[in-house]
Structure 1
């Protein structure tokens, strides 16, 4: 049954998203909000395919009890408050460390967009309605629990990360939508993106296993990672494609250093391996 659910989830998520994106790839602007309304609508409808597929399949296979269980994983418990801070903060910390490394290696940033500073809280929070809510009821709400993440966290992280990365594939050829959108689509660039997404998947699984699969935590991780990257680009608009690629490679390296450190934790309260 788990295999059937997994296959159906992948099929629905991919067909729904790719069906929305493929017809309008060349019309998606660098800022999606600059796209014409119908393109923007299809862009975001496709983005919600994991969440819609996850909720639909939960209702289809498990009925009301399944939906109630999914809803219960949105509850925040006092003992998990520290994990809220970790979930929301891991993205800014990773981007901050990567940016520091970029500067140490003599990376160029140009002028700082100081006019953005008063708007940072809004710029950080608003994206929650996009990737975080659009995807996490699917990836971590439905898919990850099917893969026994407590007993097989490494395997589960790699599988979810691969499926998650591949789902983005059409957007590689759009001007926006992924970290490598706007770059020339090459095997090394695609490989770099997959390595980054799979690395991120380990972070999600770590928090998932320490918070009883809480979906809010996954939403916060997604928000922190996406918003931090967006803010970096908006604060330093003079960074060209080459500079952004240098930064992204450093970011991926920092991410995997953190992943390795997390995997080595053996504490029953903080550990990655829970089996």
Structure 2
């Protein structure tokens, strides 16, 4: 087994173990105790599970990477000097994708009913989502994509990480205190594949995990603002997501051909 393969499997093992064990404990406590949802055990367990990709990444970089690899890794996390076009793509693509999805869902223009207070608070909400979601990319992109790129094509990386990302959230669909409990899993899985393909392209072109973190934060922040992809069984949205998957897969294929020349 090569070094990259070992790192891929170790990252996945740690990430899924932390998520599934912590949320298994949450489910058990909710069923067998009278502890309130807002109490300390649930907060701590939620952080452990939700931050699993980041925790796994930090552990692996600290324990397994050479000094040069550590330097390269953290430079990618903080890299902000990239071609300017990737900044609006990273920051605004979740808004555009969610906007179109909602038009499809509502059969035309709709009123998201955004209050002034929400707009004022949006920068703060975005900042919070950098930590409550965005930091996952320390692992998904900083570790997993980086090591998969030595062995797999860009379209394969995008689709596989999207599937893993969606399945990793599995426990949230089984515990009724989480919003995911009411989501349609097939729609959610298609959504993670779409965004994973976009993230794969951005990180491939910029070598910046920072932009991936910001895009991930934008998915959550714009979703809370009313521009998330509706997680319901809706034929129009399913077709829309499948079309996006085919388009992004083709785009990555073109970049793959260009890379191989």
TM-score bracket for the superposition, by shorter chain length:
0.7 to 0.9
1:240 aligns with none
Q: Distance in 2 between matches of 1:172 and 1:258?
A: 24
Larger displacement relative to structure 2 (109-118 or 68-77): 109-118
| Residues 1:225 and 2:219 are matched in the alignment | yes
1:145-185 Cα shifts (integer Å, max 9, x gaps): 1112796011111221222222111111124656x3234xx
Deviations 1:231-264 (A, max 9, x none): 1179xxxxxxxx9544876555444433433444
Verify: 1:55 aligned to 2:55, yes or no. no
Within the alignment, does 1:190 sit opposite 2:185 as a pair?
yes
SS in 1 for 2:85: helix
- With normalisation by structure 1, the TM-score equals 0.78
Q: Gapped runs of 5+ residues in structure 2? A: none
Which residue does the alignment assign to 1:156? 157
Deviations 1:92-126 (A, max 9, x none): 1111111222233587x796555433323322332
The answer as to whether partners of 1:149 and 1:156 remain within 8 angstroms in 2 is: no
Q: What is the rounded CA distance, in whole Å, between the counterparts of 1:165 and 1:125 in structure 2?
A: 23
Match of 1:46 in 2: 49
Give the gaps of 5 or more residues in structure 1.
Answer: 184-188, 235-242
Selected match of 1:258 from 227, 244, 247 = 244
Distance in 1 separating the partners of 2:249 and 2:171: 32
TM-score where L is the length of structure 2: 0.81
Q: Tell me the equivalent position of 1:102.
A: 105
2:39 matched residue in structure 1:
36
Q: How far does residue 206 in structure 1 lie from its aligned partner after superposition?
A: 1.0
Structure 2 partner of 1:86: 89
Counterpart contact for 2:79–2:209, Cα < 8 Å: no
* Partner SS for 2:77: coil
1:244–1:226 distance in 2 versus 1, CA, 3 Å: same
> Are residues 61 and 266 of structure 1, via their aligned partners in 2, closer, same or farther at CA, if it must alter by over 3 Å?
closer
Q: CA RMSD in A?
A: 3.3
Task: Return closer, same or farther for 1:254/1:124 CA change in 2, 3 Å cut-off.
Answer: farther
Q: For 1:1-275, what aligned pairs fall within 5 Å after superposition?
A: 1-25=3-27, 27=30, 35-104=38-107, 113=115, 115-133=117-135, 135-148=136-149, 152-175=153-176, 180-183=180-183, 189-212=184-207, 214-232=208-226, 244-246=230-232, 250-251=236-237, 253-265=239-251, 271=255, 274-275=259-260
